[in-house]
Amino acid sequence: MARLRNRTFFSLSDLNLAIQELLTQLNDRHFKKLPGSRRQLFESLDKPALKLLPQSTYTYAQWKVRVNIDYHVELERHYYSVPYQLVKQELDMRYTANTVECFHKGKWVASHPRSHVQGKHTTSLEHMPKAHRLYGDWSPQRLIRWAEKSGPDTARLITHILSSRRYPQQGFRSCLGILRLGVPKQRVTPLFYTVVYR
């Protein structure tokens, strides 16, 4: 830059051209104490190791360590599943605007599309233990619809059980037990008050 200090440039392209000329001279100049030049070292060492640039542009990502009590990890109040064998393990979470990836001891274990819906779950069936997979076809809405066939009190009871759990899936077994018993309508009202007000 010292060689350019007395020159005046009227455009960035003129300045870049002048720098490029000096850069070529600098890279071709031989070292004083080592054999060769910067260009020769680049041609023999760096250039053979160069790879093509990736097709997709770099996406900024963040890492976050999170320990959870179930096989879901939390990111901004949305819950993403990981293999159930990792319960109570420490995970690294890499997340971008579009993707959430989880790693255990540097090994990739799960990936999900990013969701910004708070209080909801993104769950992969393959992450669930077998006991939970049995309920994979069930949803709170399906259980409530089934309960409505037994009457409004049964529907209220099932709704209460599902809403009283942190995760509705935790109440599926209880709900299915009640619904499969086929409790007569006249016995559901006392049962509802026993469950709700005990």
Q: What is the pLDDT of residues 33-92, one digit of tens each?
A: 999 999 999 999 999 999 998 888 877 776 765 656 668 888 898 888 899 888 888 888
Question: What share of the chain in percent tops pLDDT 70?
Answer: 83
**Residue 163 in this model has a pLDDT that exceeds 80:** yes
**Residue 147 in this model has a pLDDT that exceeds 80:** yes
- Name which residue leads in pLDDT, 24 or 169: 24
Predicted local confidence at residue 46, as pLDDT: 93
Question: What does each C-alpha distance from 54 to 47, 51, 57, 59 come to in angstroms?
Answer: 17, 9, 7, 12
pLDDT tens for residues 109-124? 999 999 999 888 888 8
Measuring CA to CA, which residue among 148, 153, 140 is closest to residue 195?
Answer: 153
**Residue 8 in this model has a pLDDT that exceeds 80:** yes
Measuring CA to CA, which residue among 142, 167, 153, 166 is closest to residue 196?
Answer: 153
Predicted local confidence at residue 187, as pLDDT: 62
Rounded Cα–Cα distance for residues 49 and 186 (Å): 79
Average pLDDT on 158-171 reads 80
**How many helices and strands, by DSSP H and E, does the chain display?**
8, 7
Question: What does each C-alpha distance from 45 to 34, 37, 49, 157 come to in angstroms?
Answer: 15, 12, 7, 73
Long-range contacts of residues 161-168, Cβ cutoff 8 Å, at least 24 apart: 161/195, 167/70, 167/121, 168/140
Predicted local confidence at residue 190, as pLDDT: 64
Average pLDDT, the chain: 83
**Residue 154 in this model has a pLDDT that exceeds 60:** yes
**Residues 39, 23: contact at Cβ < 8 Å?**
no
- Name which residue leads in pLDDT, 65 or 151: 151
Containing H/E element for 152?
A: helix 152-163
Average pLDDT on 83-104 reads 89
Predicted local confidence at residue 35, as pLDDT: 92
Which pLDDT band, with edges at 50, 70 and 90, does 191 fall under?
A: low
Average pLDDT on 147-155 reads 85
**Residues 186, 150: contact at Cβ < 8 Å?**
no
**Residue 6 in this model has a pLDDT that exceeds 70:** yes
Predicted local confidence at residue 40, as pLDDT: 95
Rounded Cα–Cα distance for residues 112 and 92 (Å): 14
